[in-house]
Amino acid sequence: MSKVLLLNGSPHKNGCTATALEEMVRTFAAEGIETEVIQIGMQDIRGCISCGTCETKGKCVFDDLVNEVAPKFEAADGLVVGSPVYYGSPNGTILSFLDRLFYSTSFSKQMKVGAAVVSCRRGGNTATFDVLNKYFTISGMPVASSTYWNQVHGFTAEDVRKDAEGLQTMRNLARNMAFLIRAIADGREKYGLPEVERGAFTSFPDGK
């Protein structure tokens, strides 16, 4: 069975972001997709220190939730990252987590389906959405879309439950992800994955 990993970057386990992700979980279940929600926002996650340990040991030097989630991410067919808006950006904890998760893992993320989900009271949603999507687009991960930007509005979980369009967007997003996961699995079997070129690395040490 296909599986999607959902990361909740909010410190509120049952808050606005969780409400949006729960709507997706219910839809994934109806689509026959297994899910696991991991709470990130209240964890003590420090940022990357660029030590290079992961290049030799194959895992982050800080042996915390990042290393615990890494094999789950490798096994998953899709990744949903949810975050509230803090000062027009994602929660700092989820950013530190994603920096280290993506950088310290050497396994291919090619064709894993990614989606960002953003919760806000009023503004900063599209800027936050843009930041989260960059983790997918640098990793060969197709980005799932919906019938509006993947966002919900509200100051409380109860507010979000009143955001009919936002919840509709979450359901359509989950259905689109389920379709992409199945289509990619069929394509992998029929055609194989696209070739990935490596080796070119833009650097101008001579100032040219």
Q: Percent of the chain at pLDDT above 70?
A: 99
pLDDT of residue 42 exceeding 90, the answer is yes
Residue 189: the pLDDT is: 95
Read off the amino acid at residue 178: A
- Residue 154 pLDDT class (50, 70, 90 cuts): very high
**Average confidence (pLDDT) over 95-115:** 97
Residue 203: the pLDDT is: 82
**Average confidence (pLDDT) over 67-90:** 98
- Distance CA(180)–CA(189), nearest Å, equals 14
Least-confidence region, from 54-58, 101-105, 202-206 = 202-206
Residue 205: the pLDDT is: 73
- Residue 138 pLDDT class (50, 70, 90 cuts): very high
- Distance CA(150)–CA(168), nearest Å, equals 10
Structural domains present in the chain? 3-191 (3.40.50.360)
Residue 204: the pLDDT is: 78
Residue 165: the pLDDT is: 98
